[in-house]
Structure 1
């Protein structure tokens, strides 16, 4: 039996929207492409779902970043781990996070966006409670800490499930802006946790690292309750599992995944290691400045998408990697001078470039596959090939997103193995290769993608 009371905004009726709903806040005939439905109630329903989905994603990103703030203070709390072990604790969420990003792609179509947002928010209470327990006792063994740190990777999955969910709520003409806002709002979770943790862990009696985990508990409950009361499930949400298999057979998928390691992987990897590097090189500087880099990176992501829409994703991505080459080269040449303003400025350049790159590379994905549906002679799109291109782009987004998030694992491990200067030397080589590949495959005259202005 249909009902509307649990799904429609106040004052709206099913007759206005032509919506059919079922218990459990399921909407059975959602179609945002219908102007009447979208303008009458659809826009408000989509906005409401976006807000609460974004909040759960925000907490997920915060969970991914919390160990990056806790680890530098472990020696102050009595833990005697080696530098290599501390870098493992920072890297562990990135490894499991890549797997979660892939698995969470399928959860929304299976159980519903509202239902999974509730579940994913509550799941974050496991690593947060584990963190609070583990860091309260310096005798906690390393193996237990590494397991708990790995569970923080659950937060990475929140990004994927949120993006998948919100993509079903918005019409094509505004979907890019909605997803850009959703991603940027989620990225702000890293900056929030970096700003908050240094404040909450300091007490009159000394250091209270357990608070870094405890602050998540009430927020996870709020996110779950908000999703329960205000979000909806859509019966039209369907998983295109075959698209992932198709995307895995495409060269473009892995080229773009490599580029996304350079942008998103750098953003989350540098965010998680910034506090440790700062404490190592400039112990006299307060950790309260750490959040600035992640904040700037999150805020400029929509700008990167906008610039890519205006000037082309590949062109803007080349500019991004040029800036990242400059930033990493500058750090290689100047780190030994121990000049904090210069260190901070170059690091912020990397954060801004990586944040913009998150938007530019995402813009490249549909454009790169769309180019395959274009006749090089006439410039016309083949409708049948365009449908296939959209499927490939959807699969590529899932695969590239999972692979790209591995930067959160690789960056701490490279610093652990090669040192800080050596690490930035490695990253310089990687960014140079990404710059070349962007030009060669997507901008070089005569390349398959150059005709489509990717």
Structure 2
């Protein structure tokens, strides 16, 4: 066994690992677990900062008071734009890992976050044009791509039996960035007031530098990841890719969409009780925080009970949760409304973990005698499903925007969410539970 140890030690200059066998238990115990854990830690840090920058505009819109002359529909557009850009970037970010290496791309993508952070820190002030704000919001979308590359990278480091846990921890730590930036926004509102939105972005500038530096010093590239060629071409031809993407719209799309929109919805739906942005900010972080914390639990439950079973039950519960929100909105009951929305955040977090665990499981069972093929397709599908799922966040914001424009309330949007969750229940049952032997 000792003869294999030098092969897994990365070069001091290139940080490339040529021999990586996570399914070999002896290899894993001797050196693999330690290296994978170190890469996981710094991947989480970089992804966390990326999520915070991506979610920046869910907070910044709370600072855009009357002096900016932007109505609620315009604010929903400002939160939809970075979601759309981030979704579009997830596919190229995912495959950048196979082209440049996980460590190398993490360093680059973390450094790229400086552009939206610096721009927002210095350019947002009364008198700025709405098109300029749209451009600034779009640039923040680069933070959304970090998730896909991080998940693809970590998926390659861990054995099949630990993928649900590892991907859940990685994604959950990243998702916490949504709650973290909202807490930063609350701090700035409480200390400096609503007239200083640039401070929120400015706080992240040194954190981005530290994340990039830490990734450069502590992470590794896997040579075997560079052999995963033509993964996108083969994945788009596989029906399971699109089924999993649909399910991920329901889980991650809900999480990121609600995370971006929740503060605005509170201010519009209950404007008498949330007349100032600081009041809304006191509550907006709670849902994303809990949803992020339970995501690893979704992966853990999927490891133990099966991803399809957990996802199926979870979508039923999400439909019920959206029904509670709809009822509370009709009754104008703020406590019940908050409970329903927090439940939706928690369930979306659980579903994030269970659906992502399903991806390596589905392709592992489709190619039981070819683990390389299963890993190749899994990496590609993670990128595709992550991109399509993030696009669900755009749909959530657009649904809220259209509902308020058309009816003056969010009720139509809630009905659309319930209908979509029911569709996901039916699809999960039909494809992965009705005939489990074929999964």
TM-score by length of 2: 0.90
Q: 2:400 aligns with which of 415, 418, 427?
A: 415
Counterpart check, 1:319 vs 2:308:
no
Query: Could you say what secondary structure the match of 2:225 adopts?
Result: coil
Q: 1:250 aligns with which of 193, 217, 238?
A: 238
Deviation at 1:215, TM superposition (A): 0.9
Q: 2:96 aligns with which of 94, 107, 117?
A: 107
Counterpart check, 1:159 vs 2:147:
yes
Higher helix fraction (1 or 2): 2
Indicate if the aligned counterparts of 1:201 and 1:211 stay in contact, CA closer than 8 A. Answer: no
- Cα distance between partner residues in 1 of 2:193 and 2:399: 36
Deviation at 1:368, TM superposition (A): 3.2
More relative contact order, 1 or 2 (CA 8 Å, 6+ apart): 2
| Greater mean alpha carbon deviation, residues 175-184 or residues 95-104 | 175-184
Name the counterpart of 1:301: 295
Indicate if the aligned counterparts of 2:175 and 2:292 stay in contact, CA closer than 8 A. Answer: yes
Indicate if the aligned counterparts of 2:164 and 2:300 stay in contact, CA closer than 8 A. Answer: no
Cα distance change of structure 1 residues 390 and 32 upon mapping to structure 2, 3 Å threshold: closer
Counterpart check, 1:354 vs 2:342:
no
- Cα distance between partner residues in 1 of 2:428 and 2:57: 33
Cα distance change of structure 1 residues 51 and 20 upon mapping to structure 2, 3 Å threshold: closer
Cα distance change of structure 1 residues 51 and 204 upon mapping to structure 2, 3 Å threshold: closer
- Cα distance between partner residues in 2 of 1:177 and 1:17: 28
Q: 1:190 aligns with which of 178, 190, 196?
A: 178
Name the counterpart of 1:74: 64
> What RMSD, in angstroms, separates the aligned Cα atoms of the two structures?
2.3
- Cα distance between partner residues in 2 of 1:390 and 1:29: 17
- Cα distance between partner residues in 2 of 1:47 and 1:391: 22
Indicate if the aligned counterparts of 1:106 and 1:239 stay in contact, CA closer than 8 A. Answer: no
Deviation at 1:36, TM superposition (A): 5.6
- Cα distance between partner residues in 2 of 1:32 and 1:312: 25
| Greater mean alpha carbon deviation, residues 22-31 or residues 268-277 | 22-31
Task: Select the structure of larger CA radius of gyration.
Answer: 1
Q: Which runs of 4+ in 1 moved over 6 A?
A: none
Indicate if the aligned counterparts of 1:25 and 1:231 stay in contact, CA closer than 8 A. Answer: no
| Pairing 1:229-268 to 2, within 5 Å after superposition | 229-238=217-226, 240-268=228-256
Name the counterpart of 2:77: 88
Deviation at 1:432, TM superposition (A): 1.2
Cα distance change of structure 1 residues 23 and 304 upon mapping to structure 2, 3 Å threshold: closer
Per-residue displacement from partner, 1:178-225 (whole Å, max 9, x unpaired)?
Answer: 222111111111111111211124445763111111011000011111
